[in-house]
Chains A and B, each alone.
Chain A
Amino acid sequence: MSYQFKWSVLWSGQSGGWLLQGVATTLAISGLAWILAVGLGILAGAARTVPWRPLRLAGTFYVEFFRNVPLLVWMFFWYFGVPPLLPRGVQDWLFNHSAEFWAGMFALGVYHGARMSEVIRSGINSIPRTQFEASVAMGLTTFQAYRLIIVPIALRLIVPPATNESLNLLKNSSVALTISVAELTFQTRQVETYTAKAIEALTAGTLIYLVLCVSIAWIMARVERRFAIPGLIARGG
């Protein structure tokens, strides 16, 4: 193989700056999408467990439709399909404020909200039904019971699967390169195009993703220990 390695392309010239910008954008889009996903996930996950059928159906429709369609399709849908339907003023604002970032963030958040809700729903279902009955017997409304008792307990139970899902979100943010969000994979390709050093650029991008994933997993392991409910979670291994 006659490939000439030249690792210095990664820090000479603009490459280093591009990669750092890519990391920043990846973290920004994933962070905002994560907040949206957790919010939607809690709403939809709780909606699917309440004793009121129309709300359950609405939750089920959202979850099944959004998580069963590829994220890439949602990216195109929110970026190309939806803005033309918005009022003129909103469109102008969006296209002056990096519409691709907001569309990508929205696609990522709504898609992972549907997946996150499954995690949250399984958390809620693992709480004994008597908790809900006891809170209602104490005089709480259904909404209060969910807000004060059920959801807080569920969130503390689901840290490990929610971590997994959050890492999926981070990795999936790479799909946003298709609508030209300048995130890490996009910048990796830019370095590759500019320097014609594919292996070096891809190695750098790949390692950065691995480091991000490992550090988030490490932080979440601490969060898990901090918020574990004593006696409720028996974790093996």
Chain B
Amino acid sequence: MLDLGVIVANFKFLVVQGLFGLGGFAGGTLRLAIPAIVLGFVLGIFIGLARLARSRFVSLPATLYVEFFRGVPLVMVIFWIWFIIPQLLRLPIPEYGVALTAFVIFEAAYFGEIIRAGIQSVPRGQVEAATAVGLTSAQTMRFVVLPQAIRNMVPALVTQMIVLFKDTSLASIIGYVDLTKAAQIVNNREIKPFELYLFIAVVYFVFTYSMSLFARRFERRLAS
């Protein structure tokens, strides 16, 4: 039988600490996911634009960056950062910093691809028209191309944000106390794996599914 008592008894630790990251010690899925999404997206914009640059000295490194990180598991990238950054900086970095760095670097490759595809989906004639009315190329990008590109990108971007949100569970591997790690900690004491892991599965689902519902509604509003 499902023993829901274990969920109720540890609800505060799982949700307040593990999910939101409020309370005693550093942690929290959302405290990691939100900055990772924002920073990964920002870095992704630069990478996406760099891939489209006319100069090969700019576009080639960006292409290599994207292809490299899309061919490597995220777990591997987390271990890289975990070992390398302390070596380089000669000081210990908390799990939060390691995880955030790994997610931003890794997800920027995926965001970059989405942004590149979005920009390429804007018809060439738009750029020509903008140039013809006298806009500089930076102005064309800012006022003509990006506003249209971002609309086309929204569904893919939201999907990638969902992926990133789920990926933050991997931060638990290096000891960061997110929702997954919190469930592990409780389980070590209570030995109720079925209930606990099913419960956090539902919590993740509520978040990711509402994000995808939002994306679908947004898409429909754009289409009409």
Q: Which residues of A contact B (CB under 8 A)?
A: 1, 3, 64-65, 68-74, 76-77, 80-82, 84-85, 167, 171-175, 177-178, 185, 188-189, 192, 198-199, 202, 205-206, 209-210, 213-214
Majority-rule SS of A interface residues: helix
Q: Report, nearest first, the 7 A-B pairs whose CB atoms are least far apart.
A: A80-B193, A70-B169, A198-B83, A174-B73, A81-B194, A68-B208, A77-B197
Contacts of B83 in A (CB 8 A): 192, 198-199, 202
- Can you identify 24 A-B contacts, CB atoms within 8 angstroms? A68-B162, A68-B166, A68-B205, A68-B208, A69-B205, A69-B208, A70-B170, A72-B170, A72-B172, A72-B180, A73-B169, A74-B201, A76-B193, A81-B195, A84-B193, A171-B71, A171-B73, A174-B73, A192-B83, A198-B84, A202-B79, A202-B83, A210-B68, A214-B71
> Given the complex of chains A and B, what is the CA–CA distance between A174 and B196 in angstroms?
23
> Given the complex of chains A and B, what is the CA–CA distance between A178 and B172 in angstroms?
10
State whether the Cβ of B65 lies closer than 8 Å to any Cβ in chain A.
no
> Given the complex of chains A and B, what is the CA–CA distance between A70 and B172 in angstroms?
12
Cross-chain pair count, CB within 8 angstroms = 112
In contact, B79 and A82 (Cβ under 8 angstroms): no
Residue of A nearest to B88 (CB): A1
> Given the complex of chains A and B, what is the CA–CA distance between A37 and B152 in angstroms?
30
Partner of B184, one of A76, A82, A213: A76
In angstroms, how far is the closest chain A Cβ from the Cβ of B165?
A: 8
State whether the Cβ of B8 lies closer than 8 Å to any Cβ in chain A.
no
State whether the Cβ of B75 lies closer than 8 Å to any Cβ in chain A.
yes
